[in-house]
Structure 1
Amino acid sequence: MTLRAQVRGVGHYLPERIVENTELEGWVDTSDEWIRTRSGIERRHFAAESEHTSDLAAKAAEAALTDAGLKATDIDALIVATSTADLTFPSAATMVQAKIGMQQGFAFDIQAVCAGFVFALSTANAMILSGQAKRVLVIGAETFSRIMDWNDRTTCVLFGDGAGALVLEAAEGTGTTDDRGILASDLHSDGTYRDILYVDGGVSTQNTGYLRMQGKEVFRHAVEKLAATAHSALEKAGLGPDDVDWIVPHQANLRIIKATAQRMGLDMDRVVVTVQDHGNTSAASIPLALSVGKQRGQIKPGDLLVTEAIGGGLAWGSVLLRW
């Protein structure tokens, strides 16, 4: 018998407020055409003033539990991937734990910026394989609209708010790549690239700060590293790009998504794309795309998926799973 961490349910939540590119034209020196051409983004969602990251995460969690046919009392562990937690402490995860009525088990946050969900998924898989947990609720949630510099048109138009969640469950497999569940993961980081994507503030600096990004450098690293980590995860499982049904990438920029797919030798009709409607939701983007992809009827049971992401740190990685 081989133990696998299988997807039992998926869900997402988006704030009610939709901000079209044309609305941003009144805030900053930009245009709908400029944003679409450079990023593929057409609109994004912004959290209401009274909404916080844990609120978005809790609603996504409840949607995933409903999809799984489970209750919060069935969950052993809860992980929230986020860079925009409500407070310095406690963790957003413990706040979500309280909001959904999960009084057992344990909860914690993971911070790897846009790669956070991939890191959280890999961590949840390890906990299931080690026997620490049978069911893990893995959430990516962000309110990046709160850390935008609205004088910097190169970054403020790219990001949005949202949350997505998966329920992973321990199940028996055959030990082959036909098994449902996580088949391989591949994680990396390199702190020498800190200055190309970061927030210029934090707790110990006594300043909240704003997101800063060297767009051209991020683009170059993203295309190279995302394709490489996806190939690495496939190689670990003894599979290749031709075996992949869907790439579900971090939804940062349509040009990055297209370039990465091209490097992998895959057509765009095998890529789940949601960036046009959500913008870059950082750690929330992959679970959001998984949930939307399932709703659209794209992702079906038995499909082989590659999820990959890169974020500040730099931190990047991928997870290969069969739905």
Structure 2
Amino acid sequence: MTTPQPSPAPPLGLSRVAVRLPRLSEPVDDILVRAGRGAMERKMFARVHGLRTSPTLAPGERMADLLVAAGRAALDGGPAALVLYGHTLLASELDRSGPALDVLRSRLGVEAGRFYGLSHVNCASVLRAVELARRYLGRPGAGPAERVLVLGGDQGSSYQGLSRVIPGVAVAGDAAVGVVVQAATADTAPRYRYLGGAAGRDTRFHRNLRMSPEEAAAFNEVCCEETVATMRRAVRAAGLTLDQVDWVMPHLSNRMFWGKVSRRSGIPKDRMCLDLIPERGHNFGTDAFMALEHAERSGLLRPGERCVLVAIGQGAYFQSMVVEVKEDA
């Protein structure tokens, strides 16, 4: 007698990305002056890296409000069995306050769902949260209609902006994103189909922003190598090669870095969505999703195109994910 085999799990999809920005945008040069950075470094940020402004919470605005707005837009009135909040800065208000977390869950309309913060992998946290959502939805006994809300965002302007400037590399701003991960079934048609993903780590750079100048120089070189290697592993997991990738949704650090990645990967720079660097710059773990949302809103994406999303965290952590654009529901 043949033992019946379980039906294969339906493919996973991601909803359209919801992005929420604060009302203000601050000149990057003003941020660098407050941080005590020298004239040469400020010129490099402006002329070489191409950074002009950075999103900044206005007086009276709160990061929790941006997260709620992004989350509710992504949920679009539907439920979530689980909420995963990826963040870089460890001193999140939600990690310190149970009542604040309860209020956030209530405002999101997910009182019955579980809520977990994901940190300690820095700016790789939001894409890593999607991987954890994928595992959750693939667990034994998971319901086909279950959904996971992934939130991302940090307040770079908090604590006098002490964590806002990565010397010589990027200036971080305030922003929030939300995306729903769920199975693609006959009744649901997520905008993006998840194809594969990969993670990387190099333990030599665990000192993070306390690295010596020599360590920082080595880290900058390794970042390019490991970014390309992690992208290759992600597309291989998706059954593809890098030359079959249509778009790269990058970690929005600076233009110079992605020029190096383009040369080493063979992916043309005009297939890397870098348009947001001048006006938004780096926004912690939200970057790749903000680039994806911008490409969608700009009409660049076509059904069948494959996008590789990339995140790089100080530490050093690397995360890549491949999605395919589906027909609009």
TM beyond 0.5:
yes
Compared CA separation, residues 152 and 279, structure 1 to 2 (3 A): closer
Cα drift, residue 113 of structure 1? 1.0
Deviations 1:194-252 (A, max 9, x none): 114369xxxxxxxxxxxx99653332121111100000111122211121111111112
**Aligned to 1:78, which of 83, 89, 112?**
83
2-side partners of 1:260 and 1:248: how far apart? 13
Normalised to the residue count of structure 1, the TM-score between the two structures is 0.82
1:138 aligns with 2:129: no
Question: What runs of 5+ residues in structure 2 fail to find an aligned partner?
Answer: 1-7
1:186 aligns with 2:202: no
3-state secondary structure, aligned to 1:3: coil
3-state secondary structure, aligned to 1:119: helix
1-side partners of 2:309 and 2:80: how far apart? 24
2-side partners of 1:146 and 1:272: how far apart? 28
- Code of the residue aligned with 2:286 in structure 1: it is A
Compared CA separation, residues 150 and 13, structure 1 to 2 (3 A): closer
Pick which of 154-163 and 251-260 moved more. Answer: 154-163
Cα drift, residue 163 of structure 1? 1.1
1:14 aligns with 2:21: yes
- Code of the residue aligned with 2:125 in structure 1: it is G
1-side partners of 2:127 and 2:249: how far apart? 11
Q: Could you say which residue in structure 2 is the equivalent of 1:128? A: 137
Compared CA separation, residues 185 and 236, structure 1 to 2 (3 A): same
Compared CA separation, residues 45 and 156, structure 1 to 2 (3 A): farther
Compared CA separation, residues 244 and 57, structure 1 to 2 (3 A): same
Runs of 4+ in 1 over 6 A off after TM superposition: 150-153
Q: Is the 8 A contact 1:52 1:86 kept in 2?
A: no
2-side partners of 1:58 and 1:313: how far apart? 29
Cα drift, residue 87 of structure 1? 4.3
1:35 aligns with 2:42: no
Q: Could you say which residue in structure 1 is the equivalent of 2:4? A: none
Q: Could you say which residue in structure 2 is the equivalent of 1:266? A: 267
- Code of the residue aligned with 1:146 in structure 2: it is S
Percent sequence identity is: 22
- Code of the residue aligned with 1:102 in structure 2: it is V
**Aligned to 1:46, which of 53, 56, 65?**
56
Greater gyration radius? 2
2-side partners of 1:315 and 1:152: how far apart? 18
Q: Is the 8 A contact 2:164 2:171 kept in 1?
A: no
**Aligned to 1:167, which of 180, 184, 206?**
180
- Code of the residue aligned with 1:40 in structure 2: it is G
Q: Is the 8 A contact 1:308 1:318 kept in 2?
A: yes
Q: Could you say which residue in structure 1 is the equivalent of 2:231? A: 230
Q: CA RMSD in A?
A: 3.0
Q: Is the 8 A contact 2:86 2:152 kept in 1?
A: yes
Compared CA separation, residues 157 and 6, structure 1 to 2 (3 A): closer
Normalised to the residue count of structure 2, the TM-score between the two structures is 0.81
Compared CA separation, residues 48 and 218, structure 1 to 2 (3 A): farther
2-side partners of 1:228 and 1:157: how far apart? 22
Compared CA separation, residues 196 and 107, structure 1 to 2 (3 A): closer
1-side partners of 2:227 and 2:210: how far apart? 19
Cα drift, residue 286 of structure 1? 1.7
Q: Could you say which residue in structure 1 is the equivalent of 2:301? A: 299
3-state secondary structure, aligned to 2:240: coil
**Aligned to 1:89, which of 96, 99, 105?**
96
Compared CA separation, residues 150 and 267, structure 1 to 2 (3 A): closer
Q: Is the 8 A contact 1:251 1:279 kept in 2?
A: yes
2-side partners of 1:223 and 1:151: how far apart? 22
Q: Could you say which residue in structure 2 is the equivalent of 1:60? A: 70
**Aligned to 2:115, which of 102, 107, 132?**
107
Compared CA separation, residues 237 and 132, structure 1 to 2 (3 A): same
1-side partners of 2:304 and 2:52: how far apart? 32
Pick which of 51-60 and 114-123 moved more. Answer: 51-60
3-state secondary structure, aligned to 1:224: helix
Cα drift, residue 275 of structure 1? 2.0
